[in-house]
Structure 1
Amino acid sequence: MAGDHGNESEASTRRDLLKMGGGAVIGAGLLAGCTGESSPGKTDSSNVSGTRNDSTDGGDGSPANASNAGVSSGGSYTATMAPMGELTLDEPPSTWVGGLGFAADVLTALGHADGAVGMADPRFWYTGFYDFLDGVTAPVPDELTPFTTEDRDTDLEVLYELDPDLLAADPNPLITIYGLEKREAKEIQENIAPWFGNESRRKRVDGWSHWPAGKAYPYLSLPEYISKYAALFGEEKRSDALLKLYEPFIEDIRSRVPSKSERRSLALVNGRYNPENRDGWVIYNPKSKVEKTWGKKQYRDLNVVDAFAGAYKGQSSVTVDYEGLLEYDPDVIVFNFGITYRDFQGKNLIKRQRELLEDHPIGSELTAVKNSDLYVGGTPYQGPIINMFQTEMTAKQLYPDEFGAYPGYGKLSKSEQLFDRKRLAGIITGDR
């Protein structure tokens, strides 16, 4: 857990110098949290704001140097995000640590991947899709320093050593799951860097921490998240361009989903666990209980028909044997986290899942197995880049008559692609 860092008055960190010298200035609303909290699932307009406060403008009402990513000319950068409230910086963060991949993808989309110095667990930042975008680069996750341990603890000493300008993460999952104490979250905020994040991957579990305000805070949609980070990093123009590509793409996909009678049923199967290493096959509910959550966003946008609807009994997943799989007999099986488990600790777990089903006397009778409709699924830690690729991938897997067949990971020709890779790459790199 937290190490002994000695007398705080003697611990003159770079963060302390920045505060004294006009670097990072934490807004008065930070400790107080957000005002006018709304109930989970509803967005309070006070929590979606983000503004660049420049003392000068470019003559047309736009901020001076707006085209220069992250450059301030005597101004400041302010954004508001529950649960931490308002944050004001004199300059955009040059270094940051993330959580489990979501914020990292958002910041990559905004052109700031190179600022990553660590993450709660870098293994969950999937960077494979960046290979399909010319000029887009990101740190190798394996080379980033994790600040959580295998025992699900939070290592304060590592965070002090990393000394980032920003913690692009919600502290509450660390408090709820990774052993961080509230006094330690406050210590990090005061001595290392401000927190700035909102955990909205899925419905928050019972017993979820609500630090610092002590009240439930709203979920945020993916576009809201993009806008908030853009304000803090001075990337409003890049954010606008990104959303002008992202939102019409999602709307077009949603408008083209076939009628329910023409949709194939889906089983979202855990890509790692099976009867060999667990008591059966773990099937996830692909339906999001909270509309704004982004962990299963592609399945919500594609309005999937869940083959196991009614089987979960209020839980997020159900475990079945081969007979249970055949009872519900999905048209399509998608292996959740499949893109990660194609190469996990030196093993292709998705290949193994396929073999287990194809070689089993009951598994081989499944409609999805007979028709070879067994597919790699996405990661739930998806920002805008990953979500665009995964929405395209899933659309083709489920509805090939409408969106075209899915030839396999990374094998789409330009004519088969559903969004403009060149335009997306240009937005990210600044070459648009």
Structure 2
Amino acid sequence: MNDDTDSTDVRTPTTRRGYLGRVGALAASGVVAGCTTGGGTEGATDGPDGRVTDTPTASPTPEPTPTETATETATPTSYAASIEPVGEIALDDPPETVVSGWGFVGDVLTALGHADSVVGMSRPGFWYQGFYELLPEVSMRDTTEIPATVSKGYSVDEELLYELDPDLLATDPNRYIGWYGLDAGTVRTLGEEVAPFFGNESRSKRSSGWPNWPDGEAYDYYSIPEFVERYGRLFGEAERAAAMVDLYETTIEDVTSRVPPEGDRPTVGLLNAFANPESRGFFAVTDPNPALDVTHELKQYGDLGVVDAFDGMYPDEGGHYDLKTGFEGLLEADPDVLVFQEAVNALGGQNVYGNTEAYEGTLDLLRNDDIGRQLSAVEDGRLYPGGTGSQGPIVNLFQTEMLAKQLYPEEFGEWHGFGETPTDEQLFDRQRVADIVNGDI
């Protein structure tokens, strides 16, 4: 059967380690890695058909004695959490090894003190490390040593997943279907034989063709704090999660409450840091306003009320880039500020999927071109590096502070450059973040 439904319902809890020891019995009963019997996203150039096997008749099982029953019910697991679309999963122990997608979950796990649990990622290069070096006594991961479980051609390395044998697949299974081309039966098998899935695609608004496995029904998006809390429960880090959420929400509320009135804000053009007429044949402009506020890819731009200089100019179907334009198009919009999305990857920590030369080349092109020199942002020196879209709570705190200072220096103080913010001008407490990461809460 080749549709987006499955006669297994993933919303019934089970245990990862208990399940691994009794795959046959669970398959026979219809309970598999959180599954029991029952009924495309922009930003990446990165499914399932719902096939199920016939369910054999289970052999009679002796009824448990009263003592056995009492023992089972008296020791509930402490590592259970729920997330759509997979529902609730329960583990005997917190996950020690994790395969995730891009950098978002890695940042969430860093906040919870479990960065070292990541043993594989779909795209290791999208887990930006540069901000961690700005935190006292917080270690960076060498993402070049983390194996990629998805090829550059966007195909899942199933053999590697089995080899890594993680305790958790910390990603939305619909990514494997909608972006990487797996069918539902294969995804279901990975959830049974490798590890349970636990993830939700909330980076940006899901496309109209999103698979919505397992039942074809659209499911919730989650905010950054909700992800922290849910992963915190699954990893037995509820207290640390609560501390991080409190710090995060307090900071964001304080910053957003100080944003100037719209009439006092500069207009902004959000450009791809590494696309220009020499490298790609065009400048790539992104709409900075999130289609859904709850999503995290462009969260700082939405939170800080960015006034988009290109508002109303985007085509109905933007493709991989929202808008492609040349020097004339930039001059027509003439933003007060130009921010270069993903440029942090050329400035701090590991240089993951861009390089300093490519970013600097884009800046030089604008400054030296006859038309580029006429842009207000170029004349006024308001060309700023932008953040990465794969941001959890820690990265978003840094990137919100960075953008606030770039756009509204009269209110938040000047942005002095990457890693150059004096302590008395910082908008959140780096030491407090580090203490939470290190378990000193």
Question: TM-score per shorter chain, which class?
Answer: 0.7 to 0.9
Contact 1:169 1:198 survives alignment (8 Å): yes
Displacement after TM superposition at 1:349 (Å): 1.9
Displacement after TM superposition at 1:383 (Å): 0.2
- Residues 338 and 32 (structure 1 numbering): CA distance in 2 closer, same or farther, change over 3 Å? farther
User: Equivalents in 2 of 1:368, 1:327: separation in Å?
Assistant: 13
**2:396 alignment counterpart:** 387
Question: Which of 287, 293, 296 lines up with 1:285 in the alignment?
Answer: 287
Identity %: 46
User: Equivalents in 1 of 2:90, 2:437: separation in Å?
Assistant: 24
Question: Which of 83, 89, 92 lines up with 2:91 in the alignment?
Answer: 89
For 1:189-208, list aligned pairs within 5 A: 189-208=191-210
Say yes or no: does 1:423 pair with 2:432.
yes
Say yes or no: does 1:329 pair with 2:334.
yes
CA offsets, 1:160-208, max 9 Å, x none? 1111000111121221111222111111111010000001011111311
Please report the TM-score for the alignment, with normalisation by the length of structure 2. 0.82
User: Equivalents in 2 of 1:75, 1:201: separation in Å?
Assistant: 30
Question: Which of 383, 403, 416 lines up with 1:407 in the alignment?
Answer: 416
Question: Which of 158, 183, 186 lines up with 1:184 in the alignment?
Answer: 186
**1:49 alignment counterpart:** none
Displacement after TM superposition at 1:16 (Å): 7.0
**1:19 alignment counterpart:** 20
User: Equivalents in 2 of 1:219, 1:315: separation in Å?
Assistant: 23
Displacement after TM superposition at 1:18 (Å): 6.5
SS at match of 1:268: strand
Displacement after TM superposition at 1:101 (Å): 0.5
**1:239 alignment counterpart:** 241
SS at match of 1:283: strand
**1:160 alignment counterpart:** 162
Contact 2:77 2:90 survives alignment (8 Å): no
SS at match of 2:312: coil
Please report the TM-score for the alignment, with normalisation by the length of structure 1. 0.84
CA offsets, 1:60-118, max 9 Å, x none? xxxxxxxxxxxxx9743111100001101111001101101001100110010011101
For 1:26-425, list aligned pairs within 5 A: 30-31=34-35, 75-315=77-317, 317-342=322-347, 343=351, 344=353, 347-425=356-434
User: Equivalents in 2 of 1:399, 1:314: separation in Å?
Assistant: 31
- Could you tell me which amino acid in structure 2 is paired with residue 19 of structure 1? L
User: Equivalents in 2 of 1:334, 1:170: separation in Å?
Assistant: 30
User: Equivalents in 1 of 2:218, 2:390: separation in Å?
Assistant: 22
Contact 1:31 1:85 survives alignment (8 Å): no
Whichever of the two has the greater Rg, that structure is 2
User: Equivalents in 2 of 1:170, 1:95: separation in Å?
Assistant: 17
Structure 1 runs, 4 residues or longer, greater than 4 Å off: 15-18, 25-29, 32-35, 344-347
User: Equivalents in 1 of 2:123, 2:432: separation in Å?
Assistant: 30
Displacement after TM superposition at 1:348 (Å): 2.7
**2:51 alignment counterpart:** none
Task: Provide the alpha-carbon RMSD of the alignment.
Answer: 2.2
**1:63 alignment counterpart:** none
- Could you tell me which amino acid in structure 1 is paired with residue 213 of structure 2? W
Q: How many residues align?
A: 379
SS at match of 1:183: helix
Contact 1:27 1:87 survives alignment (8 Å): no
User: Equivalents in 2 of 1:144, 1:190: separation in Å?
Assistant: 24
User: Equivalents in 1 of 2:299, 2:227: separation in Å?
Assistant: 14
